[in-house]
Structure formats: C-alpha cells, structure tokens
Amino acid sequence: MSRKVAVILLTVILIVGGLFTLLGLTLVNSKGCSQLVIDTNELHSGIDIPDVDVINCYFDERKKIRVSIYKLKLNEFYLNTYTTKFKLVDQATFSGITQVEISEQPMNGKLFETTGTKWGNKWKYVVEPETGRLWVEIIYD
C-alpha cells in the first residue's frame, strides 16, 4: 500500500470515528424532549422500545427528570413477552412514575417495572399491559 493511500485511509478512519463519537455523545447528553428521545432511553437502559403509536414527553429542567410515555403497538402476545423483562409491581409499595407533575400516571391495574443506573443517571421503565402504555423516566445526575 502506498503512503498516500495509507494517509487517506487513516484520515477516513479518524473522520468516521469522530462522527460516531459525536453521535454517541449527542445521544448520551440528550436530555430534553426535542430530539432522540427513544434512542436516548434505549441507550441508558439497554432495553428496546418497540414500535409506538403515540409519544408524550415531559422534561423538568430544574429537577433534571425526563418522562416519556408511549402507547405501544404490540398485540397482547407480544406485550406479555415484552413484560417478561420486568418485575410485577407491588401496588402497596409502588412509588409512582416520577416527581414531575404529569397527569398520565398508571391506573391501578397490573404494572411491571425495571430500573437501573447508567453513567450516574437513574432510569425506570414501567409497563401497564392493560392499556399498552410504557413510561420511561430518566433522572439525570
């Protein structure tokens, strides 16, 4: 390989690597509701969000909390399969979705939840199978 080709190849690799780094940092640092909400939620949790019909998003800048609410496009079989990744919530000890004021809280039906922390940010997924709704909360550190 000639030196000129090697320099061009190295330049292309650096540019592509830089673009991937920029995209990754954009996803990680995307906190509001204006862009990349589903991708950011999936990146923080490692849990795929299936196809959705409706998305509502709320962001409290002061508290640094984002809540996304999805109406999932899953039939009952796939919804039941999706919830196997979650734990059934004890209604008596369920703390709710968030400290952000939203009117779209889960009903008193069966709820499934999973939580975690990534990059110092806490996240929570809650699924309500009866309505096909999914709440995703990220509390940014």
Q: Is residue 25 situated within a structural domain? A: no
Q: What is the pLDDT of residue 117?
A: 95
* pLDDT over 90, % of the chain: 34
79 phi, psi to nearest 5 deg: -65, -40
Q: Is 60 exceeded by the pLDDT of residue 24?
A: no
Residues 118-131, mean pLDDT to the nearest whole number = 91
Would 10 be classed as within a structural domain?
no
134 pLDDT above the threshold of 90:
yes
Q: Is residue 26 part of a domain?
A: no
Residue scoring higher pLDDT (94 or 13): 94
**Rounded to an integer, what distance in angstroms lies between the CA atom of residue 13 and that of residue 34?**
31
Q: State residue 139's pLDDT score.
A: 92
Q: 61 in a domain, yes or no? A: yes
Residue type, position 57, single letter: C
CA angle 97, 99, 100 (to 5 degrees): 95
Q: Is residue 109 part of a domain?
A: yes
Does residue 67 belong to any structural domain of this protein? Answer: yes
**Distance, CA of 137 to CA of 127 (rounded, Å):** 12
Q: Are 128 and 113 in contact (CB under 8 A)?
A: no
- Cα angle at 38 between 94 and 44, to 5 degrees? 65
Q: Does 1 fall in a domain?
A: no
Radius of gyration of the chain, Cα coordinates, nearest whole angstrom = 19
Neighbour order of strands in the sheet with 133-139: 52-60, 65-72, 133-139, 121-128, 112-118, 87-88
The pLDDT tens digits of the residues spanning 30-69 come to: 567 876 788 889 989 999 999 999 888 989 889 899 999 9
Whether pLDDT at 1 is above 70: no
Segment holding 139, helix H or strand E: strand 133-139
In a domain, 15, yes or no: no
If one counts the domains in the chain, the total is 1
Q: For residue 74, what pLDDT is reported?
A: 86
Helix (H, G, I), strand (E, B) or coil at 138: strand
Domain that holds residue 107: 31-139
